[in-house]
Structure 1
Amino acid sequence: MDRYLLESAASAGRVALVEHVLGPRMLAAPMHRHGREDEYSFVLAGTLGVIEEGIEVTAGPGDLVAKPRGRWHTFWNAGEDELRVLEIIVPGGIEALFRRLAEPGGEYSPETLPALAAEYGAEVDFDATMPLVERHGLIV
């Protein structure tokens, strides 16, 4: 579930703020990278797992994790409690993709998601995602 606190349209495209809420062991997205935005994840509650350019870290409340543009990354709830993360996106824009994915009927498959992601300057890598899902027993 996402809560859109500030969308890029309200900041002349400069920034977007989105709160992501994930249940235990839930994967947020397949491994991906975007060429336009930097993302910063500020952990509000729970345990955040992140893999960024092959390096895996966990973060807790009060921690900030950077995911620079052009670098492969994903994140998930690495704990047994609800995860709440404030996603700071600079410049804004990719949050529109999050909205599209959350629309009713917005279920995308490995066959259809790459084309949609490309509309927002992003790429996805399902082959790199599955070992992570299996290693951590994640819900997709």
Structure 2
Amino acid sequence: MSVAAENIRTVTWMGTTYTINVGRFESGGIVGVFESIVPAGGGPPVHIHHNEDEVIHVIEGDYEFWMNGEVVLVRPGNSIFLPRGVAHTFRVASTSPGRNLTILTPGGMEEFFVEAAAQAPRLPEHMDRLLQLGDRYGIEFRGPANWVVDQAH
């Protein structure tokens, strides 16, 4: 089965553009695949995925990932595996936007971005709304990255 162009969805939330190429509807929930364009210095709050494992493949830009108290630099052409249940975050360390491909297994969490873009919660003023949305998708937000010292607790 191929994904028709009309099934590809693009949304923007908090300055990042997400293009969902394969979602739970196309894969029967097996996998979610989306591309992100992230502004320089941008990235998510520290969070944990309770339902899925995540692979992020960097296409453009240098990314710094924080996981288990360590910072790892991931450059274009390289990937990082982020297992479920582990607190993590990243930021684009280059001066231009970064572009990455995310693969989730199982799929479904990519729909979080569609809902977040529709609801448009802003941080920190709408953190309560973001926490509620995250709960529905098994995402536990730990707080701002503030370029992370120790938020594994």
Q: Which TM-score band (shorter chain)?
A: 0.7 to 0.9
Please give the root-mean-square deviation of Cα atoms over the aligned residues, in Å.
1.6
Within 5 A, what are the aligned runs for 1:57-68?
Answer: 57-68=72-83
Identity of aligned residues (%): 29
Q: TM-score, normalised by structure 1?
A: 0.86
| 2:135 corresponds to | 118
- Distance (Å, rounded) in 2 between the aligned partners of 1:130 and 1:96: 23
The structural deviation recorded for 1:112 is: 2.2
CA contact (8 A) 2:54 2:83 kept: yes
User: In the alignment, which of 59, 83, 87 is matched to residue 98 of structure 2?
Assistant: 83
Deviation at 1:130, TM superposition (A): 4.5
The match for 2:51 is: 36
For 2:49 and 2:90, locate their aligned partners in 1 and report how far apart those are by CA, in whole Å: 14
Offset, 1:75:
1.5
Deviating beyond 6 angstroms after TM superposition, the runs of 4 or more aligned structure 1 residues are none
Q: Which one has the largest radius of gyration? A: 2
Instruction: Give the helix-richer structure, 1 or 2.
Output: 1
Query: What amino acid does structure 2 have at the position aligned with 1:39?
Result: E
The one-letter code matched in structure 2 to 1:4 is: I
Counterpart code for 1:3: T
Matched, 1:131 2:146: yes
- For residue 72 of structure 2, give the secondary structure of its aligned residue in structure 1: strand
Gaps of 5+ in 2: 1-16
User: 1 CA distance for matches of 2:85 and 2:78?
Assistant: 22
Deviation at 1:131, TM superposition (A): 3.0
Structure 1: segments with no counterpart, 5+ residues: 136-140
2:121/2:127 contact within 8 Å kept:
no
